[in-house]
Amino acid sequence: DIQMTQSPSSLSASVGDRVTITCRASQGISNYLAWYQQKPGKVPKLLIYAASTLQSGVPSRFSGSGSGTDFTLTISSLQPEDVATYYCQKYNSALALTFGGGTKVEIK
Amino acid sequence: EVQLVQSGAEVKKPGESLKISCKGSGYSFTSYWIGWVRQMPGKGLEWMGIIYPGDSDTRYSPSFQGQVTISADKSISTAYLQWSSLKASDTAMYYCARLNDVVVAASLDYWGQGTLVTVSS
């Protein structure tokens, strides 16, 4: 089974900083990767799908890149409302989804 | 507007059975897979399984196979997650979510509000 490893598990950055979260798959998954944001006490929200496509309504400071085994989620200028835990998720044609362990983002 | 509305919070005792629901609206319920995701207190998201309401084709994560049953009633646009004998370790928030596989790289684009299940003696 393909495992998804996120790093770091948590980070603290200042408002306006560029923040990068990585997700590594144990095997190649093409671009079958999505990113979700879960604010404290809230429902997860889709940010990016197909590794780099921004979901409608998501601010353009969020971007995704990568293919194969290595992927990144970047927040170009961290805002206070971005405090959340971010999860990557892989998908395969057998309808097996796996989430990464999550990255908790806080404001310094 | 696409909506997934889940049933309310439940408090159960170990050994009891439970069935929670997820009602879809605002889209063709039979044309999209519905998945279930567990989130234990203070923990991350875990994939449980998925059902295609159009024909009830169901797939389970190996971690949850045999532990839960996923079903759907397309006549009322509702998916279900059920347990026959709850354990304290089933205490968690459970989310349903729609799988959008219009693009090959599918993702969960709409989520229910979550159902909190508490199992305690």
In sequence order, what DSSP letters do the residues of B31-75 get, joined into one string? GSEEEEEEE-TT--EEEEEEEETTTTEEEE-TTTTTT-EEEEEGG
Q: Which residue has the tokens 């629901």?
A: B21
Question: Do B44 and A49 make contact, defined as CB atoms within 8 angstroms?
Answer: no
Check CB contact under 8 Å for B100 and A49: yes
Q: In chain A, what residues touch B50 (CB-CB under 8 Å)?
A: 95, 97
pLDDT at A1: 84
User: CA B29 to CA B20: how far, in whole Å?
Assistant: 17
Instruction: Write down the pLDDT at residue B65.
Output: 96
A86 contacts A23 by C-beta, under 8 angstroms:
no
Whole-number Cα distances in Å, B48 to A4, B5, B20, B112: 16, 18, 14, 15
- Indicate yes or no: CB of B105 within 8 angstroms of CB of A89: no
Structure tokens at A66: 């990568």
Q: Provide the number of CB pairs (under 8 Å) joining chain A to chain B.
A: 74
Cβ contacts of B106 on chain A, cutoff 8 Å: 32, 49, 91
Residues of B in contact with A57 (CB under 8 A): none
Q: What is the pLDDT of residue A76?
A: 98
- Interatomic CA distance for residues B97 and B4, integer angstroms: 7
SS3 call for A89: strand
pLDDT of residue B105 exceeding 90, the answer is no
**Cα A12 from chain centroid?**
16
d(CA A17, CA A94) in angstroms, rounded, equals 39
Share of chain A above pLDDT 90, in %: 94
**Shortest Cα distance, chain A CAs vs residue B15, angstroms:** 28
Q: What is the DSSP code string of A30-88? A: TT-EEEEEE-TTS--EEEEETTTEEPTT--TTEEEEEETTEEEEEESS--GGG-EEEEE
Which of B46, B97, B106 shows the shortest C-beta gap to A91? Answer: B106
Residue A74: closest CA among A54, A93, A100: A54
Residue A81 has pLDDT above 80, yes or no: yes
Task: Establish whether the linkage from the previous residue to A8 is cis, with ω within 30° of 0.
Answer: yes
Sorted by sequence, the CB contacts under 8 Å of residue B120 that are 6+ apart come out as B11, B13, B14, B88, B91
* Cβ count near A94 (within 10 Å): 7
Of B62, B107, B113, nearest to A91 by CB-CB distance is: B107
pLDDT averaged over chain A? 96
Predicted confidence (pLDDT) at residue A58 exceeds the cutoff of 80: yes
Q: Are B88 and B14 in contact (CB under 8 A)?
A: yes
Contacts of B108 in chain A (CB under 8 A): 34, 36, 44, 46, 89, 97
* pLDDT value of residue B58: 96
The answer to whether residue A68 neighbours chain B at the CB level (below 8 Å) is no
- Distance CA(A22)–CA(B37), nearest Å, equals 22
CA distance A100 to chain B (A): 8
pLDDT tens-digit map of B20-51: 999 999 999 999 999 999 999 999 999 999 99
Give the mean pLDDT of B52-65.
95
- Choice between B35 and B102, residue whose per-residue pLDDT is larger: B35
